[in-house]
Amino acid sequence: MSEKGDVLVTVKDLCKNFGVTVALNHVDMEIHRGEIRGLIGENGSGKSTVTSIIAGIQPATSGEMFYKGKPWHPATSLEATQAGIGIIVQEMGTIPSITVAENIFLGNYEKFRVGPIISKRKMIAAAREALEKIGIMDIDPARVTGSYNMEQRKLIEIAKTMANDPEMFVVDETTTALSENGRELLYRLMRRAADDNKAVVFISHDLDEIMDKCDAVTVLRDGNIIGSLDKEAFDPDLIKKMMIGREIQGDYYRSDMDGYENQVVLKAENLTTMRDLLCFDIELHKGEILGIGGLSECGMHTLGRALYGLEDIVSGQVTLQQSGTRITTPEIAFQHGMGYVSKNRDQESLVMNGTIGVNIQSTGYKANRGLGIFISAKKEKQYAQLQVDSLAIKCNGIFQPVSALSGGNKQKVVFGKWLAADADILILDCPTRGVDIGVKAAMYQLINEMKHKGKSIVLISEELPELCGMSDRLIIMRNGEISGEFLRQDGYDNNKLIDCMI
């Protein structure tokens, strides 16, 4: 019988390259039974890579792995699942167009076979059981997965992983997509598994969460294992230092209390959109960081899109106060010095197989003109290179495809694109989502610098600390309406803010 503390998975000298990029550099690691092991590190440090190799999602370039003492070379994630290694991935791991039950038993339909056909009834019953086992009662396994929201889909994915009773499972930055209840549910499952002598690997950017939930933590940086700590040795400053390789100095958020000018630059009046917003009014001032918070379904993301002309407006209007221009399309918004950073970075803010240069230069077709309508290659190169240098984007040059960059560096490219455009009004929808603390700190500093240059920023975020730390004025939304407005000079009271949200 296996004992608590036995080694379940051993990783030896594991390397992984993506082209010239080294994602894992000779990594050695052991995962023990009966513990929740935290994996922490900046974006691009190799956390997801190492776990996805163990779970059979991708092969390693070189190196060895052992599972239960035997050599382990999973060819597919299905093989890993059947052998008892499950993973809940960072991105969407469910297929929207099929039913919940079909997702839960994806690739595993054989056991529901009755003669030549797969019994839907049996599968749905089994799926219901799987959902109830982890304490989810309000999801109907017969419904199409796409009809559920992101969080519910994540819960379905958790049910899918747990349905196989895995010996080891990986939770890869799942909690950012979950609400408080969902998180509690996941924490309980993790703890129960560890108590049952299974192994859990927990990846998160949230240091507090890691320290609270894990029995041990391993820190990665640039594809190297920096070290491991047991619970007794947990120390936030030490872990941070290990993650970034230096001490974080100065202020994380902005510390100044500088105000903004009275001049209104952007105004939405009586704004009603096809979804979420009804008769919404909002004003943005010059040099202001306007924070907008609330629960993810409160309509704040729609508001950001509507301000940039991306939503169908039923009535009301968004106008630039200086020129009186009405913003009805993103083209008009862009031409009048506005910029927008979507919360879905990979899908909406970047051309993934395009180079860093192509992405940054996309805002400068006019600015980079040399003679007449012709674009100057020199100007265009400088346009991108300047941002790569000043933002310290980790890359081999502007001709590297962005798909080879880590999350934080990708977000830097998006920022660079708008910095290069010198946008006067910037709408940032969850700009620090999935970005590690090092890059986060750099982003906050950038936002603050822009403010002091007289730019106006709308900062939409699901993270209260970030909103409180950065905003001059903070608007909390609920059900498509403003439920509270707070000012930096009065100080932000977390309890009051949360009251307005729920």
Partner 1 sequence: MSAASGMAIQKQSPKLTLADRIDIIKNKRFFPLAFPLAMLAVLVVLFAVLTGGQFLQGSVVKNIFNQSFIVGTMATAVAFIYSTGNIDFSVGNVMGLACVFGALAYEVTESMPVMIAVTLVGGIALMMCNCTLCIACHIKPAMVAIVAMSIYSALCTVLVGADPIRVDYQASKALEGGFRYGTFILYFLVCLILYHRTAIGRKLRFIGGNETCAVQTGINTTKAQIIAFVFAGVGVGLAGVYQTIRTTSVAQTVGSGMGMDVMLATVLGGMSIFGGTKSNVYAGLIGAITVTVLNTGLLMLGVSSTMIQGVRGVIFLLLVFLNSERQKTLPSRQQF
Q: At which residue do the structure tokens 């977390």 appear? A: 494
How far apart CA 392 and CA 386 sit, in angstroms, is: 10
Q: How many residues bind partner 1 (CB under 8 A)?
A: 77
Scanning 252-398, the segments in alpha helix (DSSP H) are: 300-307, 330-335, 356-361, 377-390
Site for partner 1 in 229-268 (CB under 8 A): 229-230, 233, 238, 241-242, 245
Site for partner 1 in 347-366 (CB under 8 A): 347-355, 358, 361-363, 365-366
Convert residues 321-340 into a mask of x (bound to partner 1 by CB under 8 A) and - (unbound): --------xxx-xxx----x
Query: What type of residue sits at position 419?
Result: L
CB-CB neighbours of 374 under 10 Å: 9
Q: Which is nearer to partner 1, 89 or 139 (CB)?
A: 89
Find the part of the chain contacting partner 1 (CB under 8 A) among 67-75, 143-151, 182-190, 395-403.
395-403
How far apart CA 455 and CA 457 sit, in angstroms, is: 7
Q: At which residue do the structure tokens 């052998």 appear? A: 83
Site for partner 1 in 73-92 (CB under 8 A): 89-92
Q: Which is nearer to partner 1, 224 or 319 (CB)?
A: 224
**Total length of the chain:** 502
Site for partner 1 in 27-46 (CB under 8 A): 44-46
How far apart CA 424 and CA 450 sit, in angstroms, is: 9
We find the least distance from the C-beta atom of residue 282 to partner 1, in angstroms, to be 20
Site for partner 1 in 411-470 (CB under 8 A): 417, 434
CB 273 within 8 A of CB 306: yes
Site for partner 1 in 136-175 (CB under 8 A): none
Q: Which is nearer to partner 1, 380 or 472 (CB)?
A: 380
Tokens of 114: 């009755």
Interacting residue with partner 1 among 161, 406, 411, 461 (CB under 8 A) = 406
We find the least distance from the C-beta atom of residue 271 to partner 1, in angstroms, to be 19
HSE-CB for 133 with a 13 A CA cutoff: 19
**Does 403 sit near partner 1 (CB under 8 A)?**
yes
**Does 58 sit near partner 1 (CB under 8 A)?**
yes
DSSP bridge pairs for 254: none
We find the least distance from the C-beta atom of residue 61 to partner 1, in angstroms, to be 6
CB 242 within 8 A of CB 210: no
DSSP bridge pairs for 313: 273
Interacting residue with partner 1 among 185, 264, 278, 375 (CB under 8 A) = 375
Q: Which is nearer to partner 1, 242 or 298 (CB)?
A: 242
We find the least distance from the C-beta atom of residue 410 to partner 1, in angstroms, to be 9
We find the least distance from the C-beta atom of residue 359 to partner 1, in angstroms, to be 8
| Cβ partners under 8 Å of residue 115, min gap 6 | none
How far apart CA 141 and CA 156 sit, in angstroms, is: 9
Find the part of the chain contacting partner 1 (CB under 8 A) among 265-273, 274-282, 368-376, 465-473.
368-376
β pairing state of 481-487 and 473-478: antiparallel
Tokens of 450: 């822009």
We find the least distance from the C-beta atom of residue 375 to partner 1, in angstroms, to be 6
Q: At which residue do the structure tokens 């889909």 appear? A: 153
CB 428 within 8 A of CB 447: yes
DSSP code of residue 348:
I
Site for partner 1 in 10-29 (CB under 8 A): 15-20, 22-23, 25-26
CA dist 290 to 297, 492, 501, Å? 19, 14, 17
Q: Which is nearer to partner 1, 49 or 197 (CB)?
A: 49
Find the part of the chain contacting partner 1 (CB under 8 A) among 136-144, 147-155, 398-406, 486-494.
398-406
Tokens of 434: 């999935």
CB-CB neighbours of 152 under 10 Å: 18
How far apart CA 223 and CA 204 sit, in angstroms, is: 16
We find the least distance from the C-beta atom of residue 343 to partner 1, in angstroms, to be 12
Site for partner 1 in 292-321 (CB under 8 A): 308, 310
We find the least distance from the C-beta atom of residue 116 to partner 1, in angstroms, to be 30
Provide the b/e sequence for 237-251 (b: ≥16 CB within 10 Å).
Answer: eebbebbbeeeeeee
Interacting residue with partner 1 among 79, 140, 151, 346 (CB under 8 A) = 346
**Does 282 sit near partner 1 (CB under 8 A)?**
no
Site for partner 1 in 172-231 (CB under 8 A): 216, 221-222, 224, 226-230
We find the least distance from the C-beta atom of residue 88 to partner 1, in angstroms, to be 13
CB 100 within 8 A of CB 127: yes
We find the least distance from the C-beta atom of residue 278 to partner 1, in angstroms, to be 24
Interacting residue with partner 1 among 74, 293, 407, 408 (CB under 8 A) = 407
